[in-house]
Structure 1
Amino acid sequence: MIKIIFVCLGNICRSPLAEAICQHKIKKKGLEGQISCDSAGTANYHIGEEPDSRSIEVAVKHNIPIDHKGRQFHHTDGTNYQYILAMDESNYRNIIHELGYKHDGLYLMRNFDSQGRGMEVPDPYYGGKDGFEDVYQILDRSIEEFLEFVIETNHL
């Protein structure tokens, strides 16, 4: 089983939305028994909390089921997941710090975005609903390209 984890700061906006989109795409591609995903935050602000209501709203708008409780990224995630996708540079660095090394499967999420390769996924928390829709579009594109990479790399 190939395991993927999406990581942002608080695990209530970007990363649970990424997890939900990825799970939906995995199911559509018939890969449930081969790929799984999760999400976490590098900070402990929202452990046990539901995703932000605006993340839930944008997921529902796009018919994406979303069900997650916030959790903190832990150094054991480095051995439990083949792929770790950070939403931005700050969390990328925080992941390396928590693990104590640069994980071979650690990437910035937008390294897989044809419309913004190498850029960060903006944090929509302090903005309005439009920011959550923008993040959804970024994640939808990036995750599609990322899953194609995973499928090809792992010969699925």
Structure 2
Amino acid sequence: MTYRVCFVCTGNICRSPMAESVFRAHVARAGLDDRVEVDSAGTGGWHEGAGADPRTVAVLEDGGYDSNHTARQFRASWFSRLDLVIALDHGHLRELRRLAPTEEDARKVRLLRSYDPAAGDDLDVPDPYYGGIDGFEGCLEMVEAASTGLLAAVREHVEGRAA
């Protein structure tokens, strides 16, 4: 059975495609790519059909990650097929929990940085869209730092299902 994770930010052109690409690479390196599906979406549909922001693409490629992406909007109906919905900030967390059809679905929503013990109380990944490339680089650092803990949690679920 496939374990499905979806990363969600505002427009699905900066943070969530970055998190998707980084986490997909972690999943592949762990040998779990046949059991874990990774994708992303935005809370809004302004950029549907567009590629990732060029600064996201540049930072991902510099980091050795895949940058192929097409933006889309998250739909409440997706909760039934997802195991984990990862919000990039508290605003997304609130919006996704509001969209969740059931309490069980609302419990599937978590903040990405909650998987990074070094994050402390600062659990938002700031939106780099209105700034320069340094904001995108900082975003990548936060995503990479949280991906190790997220992978450990997902591995626990995947291996628990196989048992």
How far does residue 116 in structure 1 lie from its aligned partner after superposition?
1.0
Give the aligned partner of residue 11 of structure 1.
12
Give 4+ residue runs of structure 1 displaced > 4 Å after superposition: none
Q: Output the amino acid matched with 1:53.
A: P
SS of 2:117's equivalent in the other structure is coil
Give the aligned partner of residue 62 of structure 2.
61
How far does residue 68 in structure 1 lie from its aligned partner after superposition?
1.3
Among 108, 112, 128, the residue aligned to 2:111:
108
How far does residue 117 in structure 1 lie from its aligned partner after superposition?
3.7
Residues in 1 aligned to 2:20 and 2:157: alpha-carbon distance in whole angstroms: 20
Q: What's the TM-score, normalizing by structure 2?
A: 0.91
Higher helix share: 2
Q: Indicate yes or no: 2:158 matched with 1:154.
A: yes
State the identity as a percent.
31
Q: What's the TM-score, normalizing by structure 1?
A: 0.95
Give the aligned partner of residue 91 of structure 1.
92
Measured against aligned partners, the alpha-carbon deviations of 1:111-155 in whole angstroms (never above 9, x if no partner) come to 011221441011000111011010001001101110111112332
SS of 1:84's equivalent in the other structure is strand
Residues in 2 aligned to 1:151 and 1:117: alpha-carbon distance in whole angstroms: 23
Q: Indicate yes or no: 2:135 matched with 1:134.
A: no
How far does residue 98 in structure 1 lie from its aligned partner after superposition?
1.9
Give the aligned partner of residue 41 of structure 1.
42
How far does residue 96 in structure 1 lie from its aligned partner after superposition?
1.5
SS of 2:66's equivalent in the other structure is coil
| Number of residue equivalences | 156
Measured against aligned partners, the alpha-carbon deviations of 1:41-98 in whole angstroms (never above 9, x if no partner) come to 0011110010000000000001101211100000112111100000011111111222
Measured against aligned partners, the alpha-carbon deviations of 1:9-35 in whole angstroms (never above 9, x if no partner) come to 000000000000011111111111111
Q: Output the amino acid matched with 1:153.
A: H
Please list every run of 5 or more consecutive structure 1 residues that lacks an aligned counterpart in the other structure.
none
Please list every run of 5 or more consecutive structure 2 residues that lacks an aligned counterpart in the other structure.
none
Give the aligned partner of residue 31 of structure 1.
32
Residues in 2 aligned to 1:131 and 1:41: alpha-carbon distance in whole angstroms: 19
Q: Output the amino acid matched with 1:124.
A: P
Residues in 2 aligned to 1:16 and 1:93: alpha-carbon distance in whole angstroms: 20
